[in-house]
């Protein structure tokens, strides 16, 4: 078991990483206060039994399409009826969808109650549960309503990843590889040299998750409210979000991030910003961990580019891209010719 500490403008919280942590949940959060668990229909039957002293367990429908104000609105009354007041706290038990919604509820219920993240997907462990961004989607787009709300603990129980679908595990690997490219060359080269895909059973998982969280921790500590450096975490995301959207969400987020990282690397290499072999190194590493490296041919290039224009990172009418300069070194730039992006996407289509 290891613990990392995240400091933020109003305090600090531990991220506990290990196996079989949920069985000793109370001990790890270090409080005897009353709490309510919020989880989803897939996770409840697997892991809710660890929380037998909860005031209530609220089970929400699983999936991004339920990350809405309607779902959140249905929760507040149940918290009241179960008797939760500001002396109690909420537990988010699930992936990033549950973490984002529970954090948002915790930020607003009675003007704020404490909450603990118990991420059960690899993506939620290495990315969504750390950094205090919470929220819900609107019909107009993802994460358009939300709040910064820091958890008071994150309990990452690696054992829960055994039950995760392989494609969901791979999506978490995309963000992990992304963290290596942004800020941890050692993490990247470990995954590059690894002869087999990472799995929940492998002992190396612990160190990998810890290193990936460490990257996010370092970035969010420096830029807690996303005014600057935190934009680096969006490597592959400007292209990825557009691909995800144009595919009608058939391409999953992590898969789209993998494709988006390929576009970013190829564009950076074409402009001479990075070594010529960086795209092939990223490609081999993504492939080794069961991620796609080509863009489906049926996705229209113009539609992808138009969609990028509506990305919320667009600033003052200019789209800004995060490009790799080297492993562990990325930068933000608007100076990418439109034609080069179109050519790169086309060249990556299978």
Ligand X SMILES: NC(=O)c1ccc[n+]([C@@H]2O[C@H](COP(=O)([O-])OP(=O)(O)OC[C@H]3O[C@@H](n4cnc5c(N)ncnc54)[C@H](O)[C@@H]3O)[C@@H](O)[C@H]2O)c1
Identify the residue among 8, 55, 57, 64 touching ligand X (CB under 6 A): 64
Inter-residue contact 285 to 188 (CB < 8 Å): yes
Does residue number 223 form part of the binding site for ligand X (CB under 6 A)?
no
Distance (Å, whole) CA 238 – CA 261: 9
Are 76 and 104 in contact, with CB atoms under 8 Å apart? no
Q: How far is the CB of 84 from ligand X (least distance, A)?
A: 23
Active-site residue, selected from the candidate residues 133, 149, 178, 179: 133
Classify burial at 46, counting beta carbons within 10 Å of its beta carbon; exposed 0-12, middle 13-18, buried 19 or more.
middle
Strand ranges for the chain from DSSP E: 2-8, 11-18, 35-40, 56-60, 89-94, 114-119, 133-138, 141-148, 153-157, 321-326, 329-333
Q: Which of 28, 178, 237, 273 is catalytic?
A: 237
Which CB sits closer to ligand X, 24 or 192? Answer: 24
Query: Among 185, 124, 128, 192, which Cα is nearest to 158's?
Result: 124
Contact between 184 and 328 under an 8 Å Cβ cutoff? The reply is: yes
Residue 216 is a catalytic residue:
yes
Instruction: For residues 228 and 332, give the distance between their C-alpha atoms in angstroms, rounded to a whole number.
Output: 10
* 62 interacts with ligand X by CB under 6 A: yes
Check: CB of residue 123 under 8 Å from CB of residue 168: yes
- 226 as an active site residue: the answer is yes
Residue closer to ligand X, measured from CB, 237 or 273: 237
Binding mask 75-114 for ligand X (x = CB under 6 A): -------------------xxxxx-x--------------
Report helix, strand or coil for 87.
coil
31 in helix, strand or coil?
coil
| Residue 333 tokens, joined | 């730039």
In whole angstroms, the minimum distance from the beta carbon of 59 to ligand X comes to 11
Q: Which is nearer to ligand X, 143 or 333 (CB)?
A: 143
The DSSP line for 103-117 is: HHHHHHGGG--EEEE
- Contacting residue, 128, 153, 257, 323, with ligand X by CB under 6 A: 128
20 a catalytic residue: no
Let me know if 111 is a catalytic residue. Answer: yes
> Can you tell me whether residue 75 is helix, strand or coil?
helix
Instruction: Return the residue nearest ligand X (CB atom).
Output: 96
Smallest distance from the beta carbon of 41 to ligand X, in angstroms? 7
Q: Which stretch binds ligand X (CB under 6 A): 83-91, 124-132, 278-286, 331-339?
A: 124-132
Q: Does 149 bind ligand X (CB under 6 A)?
A: no
Q: By CB under 6 A, which span of 12-20, 104-112, 164-172, 312-320 interacts with ligand X?
A: 164-172
Contact region for ligand X (CB under 6 A) — 12-20, 27-35, 123-131, 282-290?
123-131
Distances (CA, A) of 64 to 71, 103, 145, 238, 275: 11, 15, 14, 19, 37
Backbone angles phi, psi at 138, to 5 degrees: -115, 165
Verify binding: residue 282, ligand X, rule CB under 6 A. Answer: no
Q: Does residue 311 touch ligand X according to CB under 6 A?
A: no
Q: How far is the CB of 29 from ligand X (least distance, A)?
A: 19
- 50 given a catalytic annotation: no
For ligand X, the binding residues (CB under 6 A) are 40, 42-43, 46, 62-64, 67, 94-98, 100, 120-121, 123-124, 127-128, 131, 133, 142-143, 160, 163-164, 168, 171
Catalytic residue set: 111, 133, 175, 216, 226, 230, 234, 237, 241, 253
């Amino acid at each position: 078991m290891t613990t990392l500490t995240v400091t933020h403008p109003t305090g600090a919280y531990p991220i506990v990483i290990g196996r079989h942590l949920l069985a000793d949940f109370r001990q790890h959060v270090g409080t005897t206060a009353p709490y309510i668990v919020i989880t989803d229909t897939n996770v409840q039957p697997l892991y809710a039994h660890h929380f037998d002293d909860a005031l209530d367990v609220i089970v929400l429908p699983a999936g991004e399409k339920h990350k809405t104000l309607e779902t959140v609105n249905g929760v507040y009354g149940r918290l009241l009826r179960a008797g939760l007041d500001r002396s109690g706290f909420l537990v988010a038990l699930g992936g990033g969808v549950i973490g984002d919604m529970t954090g948002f509820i915790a930020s607003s219920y009675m003007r704020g109650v404490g909450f603990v993240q118990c991420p059960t997907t690899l993506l939620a462990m290495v990315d969504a549960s750390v950094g205090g961004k919470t929220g819900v989607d609107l019909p107009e787009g993802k994460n358009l309503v939300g709040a910064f709300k820091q958890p008071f603990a994150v309990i990452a129980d690696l054992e829960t990843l055994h039950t995760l679908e392989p494609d969901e595990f791979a999506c978490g690997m995309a963000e992990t590889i992304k963290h290596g490219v942004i800020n941890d060359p050692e993490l990247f080269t470990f995954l590059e040299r690894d002869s087999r895909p990472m799995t929940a059973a492998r002992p190396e998982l612990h160190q990998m998750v810890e290193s990936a969280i460490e990257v996010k921790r370092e970035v969010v500590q420096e830029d807690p409210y996303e005014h600057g450096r935190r934009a680096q975490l969006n490597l592959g995301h400007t292209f990825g979000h557009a691909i995800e959207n144009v595919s009608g969400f058939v391409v999953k987020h992590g898969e789209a991030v993998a494709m988006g990282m390929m576009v970013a690397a190829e564009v950076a290499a074409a402009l001479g910003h990075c070594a010529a072999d960086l795209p092939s190194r990223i490609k081999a590493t993504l492939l080794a961990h069961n991620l796609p490296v080509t863009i489906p041919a049926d996705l229209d290039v113009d539609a992808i580019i138009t969609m990028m224009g509506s990305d919320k990172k667009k600033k003052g009418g200019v789209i800004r891209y995060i490009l790799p300069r080297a492993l562990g070194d990325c930068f933000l730039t608007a100076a990418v010719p439109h034609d080069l992006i179109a050519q790169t996407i086309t060249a990556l289509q299978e």
